[in-house]
Structure 1
Amino acid sequence: MVIAYRDAVEADLPAIVALLADDELGAEREDVAAPLVASYVDAFHAIAATHHLRLIVAVDGERIVGTMQFLLIPGLSSRGSWHGQIEAVRIAADLRGQGQGEAFVRWAIEQCRLAGCASVQLVSHESRRAAHRFWRKLGFVPSHVGFKLHL
């Protein structure tokens, strides 16, 4: 298996949404019905138009086996440092535990490093205990408390 990483194209959206829906939390909030609701297409176009924001897919041949978003954030804190933000990381269920997720995240970290980021950050839902172990294994530390307001 040779996994490649590339920027997503609109035709990838059904596979990306299916990956996002493939866990307890995602199953509650995603809609995989075909055709996809327009808000997914609108979001894709907004992502594509946003400088420093990338929607990435991991592909094995023609099959999309993973997805993530990452954002390069300029900031004034830490002496004007840039920071990477990783979001919505998913690997196909049949490939989990085989190192594909680790390789994918390490690739994203390297992209952030090459862009000059001083750090890489992420948030993970408090119920995702296995994900927390995964992030710690990669060197991430739970250094902040996050808050969210649903609108």
Structure 2
Amino acid sequence: MLHFRKAEEKDIPFIVQMIADDKLGKLRENYREPLPQEYLTAFKNINADPNQELIVVTENGDDKIIGTLQLSFIQYLTYRGGIRAQIEAVRIRKDCRGKGFGQQMFTWAIKRAKERNAHVLQLTTDKKRPEAIAFYEKLGFKASHEGMKLHF
């Protein structure tokens, strides 16, 4: 059985290690020990914001993290002042993949978004991640919009 809890500062090095542990993450992250201060500063900002939930996932009461995700709840005027939930940085430890944990994590995230009265749960994924895209489609996500970014 999976257990979901808000991340604590002590979890941040392992979360960053998971985020950096793939071909795209290696290009944009800076995981090392000691962890660069920018990650701890970001955690403090996330943790202080009631519309941000950085979550870690453990199994069977064990304290060893097997996965992570971040939910952001965005209030806006469209959809009659609706709330949009955004899921980001979904990662599962390499040795825990293929066991159904990802599907369980999304089941939890969908439930959590509904608890916060969100009318939609959205995500973006890099087009270079075809396995992730197939996984999200299997969960019922639709490529309904064309996403665009302007990096600085």
1:27 is paired with a residue of what secondary structure?
A: helix
Q: Provide the C-alpha distance between the structure 1 equivalents of 2:123 and 2:132, rounded to a whole number of angstroms.
A: 11
Q: Provide the C-alpha distance between the structure 2 equivalents of 1:62 and 1:114, rounded to a whole number of angstroms.
A: 26
Amino acid in the other structure paired with 2:150 = L
1:11 equivalent in structure 2:
10
2:24 is paired with a residue of what secondary structure?
A: helix
Matched, 1:149 2:142: no
Correspondence 1:70-109 to 2 at 5 A = 70-109=71-110
Q: Any unmatched runs of 5+ in structure 1?
A: none
Correspondence 1:1-150 to 2 at 5 A = 2-60=1-59, 61-150=62-151
Question: Could you state the TM-score of these two structures normalised by the residue count of structure 2?
Answer: 0.95
Amino acid in the other structure paired with 1:69 = Q
Q: Provide the C-alpha distance between the structure 1 equivalents of 2:21 and 2:107, rounded to a whole number of angstroms.
A: 22
CA deviation digits over 1:45-72, x for unaligned, max 9? 0101112111000113121110110011
Moved over 4 A (4+): none
The percentage of aligned residue pairs carrying the same residue is 41
Number of residues paired by the alignment? 150
The alignment yields a C-alpha RMSD, in angstroms, of 0.9
Q: Any unmatched runs of 5+ in structure 2?
A: none
Question: Could you state the TM-score of these two structures normalised by the residue count of structure 1?
Answer: 0.96
